[in-house]
Amino acid sequence: MNFASRLLAPRFRQAGGEFLSPAFFNRLLEEQAGGGVAPKLFDQALAALVAGQRVLEQPQWVKLAGHTIRLGAADEKSAERITTLLAAAPFSPPDEAELGRELGLSAHELRRLLGALQGMGRIFRLEGDLYFLHSALTEADRRLQEYAAGREEISVSEFRELLGTTRKYAVPLLNWFDHTGRTERIGDNRIINR
């Protein structure tokens, strides 16, 4: 068992194998190693665990390989309410605070459910505490590729119009596409990668 596994495997077991944020993962590493762990050591430990297929790394989450999130009946009902609200305006979804008010859930409970939905791949969190359904990102990508058939780049304004949304949502979506490599920011525009 390597250094990273010795340090972190017990904590994953304590967490029931649930998804952990990299920030939490880093705190665990620092705690186990006695504090003061450099970011490079964290990156090396995480890379070793991923390479050894002991954990899977997803945007914003790290989980034990083979772990599956299952929601109980009450949580599934709340999760359905969340996804229904997100689906009502796929490119202009309510932010975290609006979801909490609409659903009457505590901030802790809402974050727990949003985290579970992220871990299940049903939603994605983008900057600004905005959550989008997987299907909304897929549809945005489809529209972007269709738009790219006759053009090589797109402005924020054009993308906003393409999705029928506002700048508040268009910019985080474009930043997501930059992160995934679908687009590349050049000045005020994005080059669309096919």
Q: Where are the domains of the chain?
A: 3-64, 76-194
Q: Report the alpha-carbon distance of residue 103 to residue 63 in Å, rounded.
A: 28
The pLDDT tens digits of the residues spanning 117-155 come to 988 889 999 988 899 999 999 999 999 999 999 899 999
Q: Report the alpha-carbon distance of residue 187 to residue 165 in Å, rounded.
A: 21
The one-letter amino acid code at 194 reads: R
In this prediction, residue 17 has a pLDDT band, given cuts at 50, 70 and 90, of very low
Interstrand relation of 130-133 and 61-64 (parallel, antiparallel or unpaired):
unpaired
In this prediction, residue 16 has a pLDDT band, given cuts at 50, 70 and 90, of very low
pLDDT exceeds cutoff 80 at 40: no
Give me the pLDDT at residue 35, please: 59
Q: Report the alpha-carbon distance of residue 60 to residue 38 in Å, rounded.
A: 19
* Cβ neighbours around 65 below 10 Å, total: 12
CATH class of segment(s) 76-194: mainly alpha
Cα–Cα distances (Å) from 8 to 25, 29, 32, 47, in that order, read 8, 7, 8, 13
Through-space distance between the first and last CA atoms of the chain, rounded to whole angstroms: 42
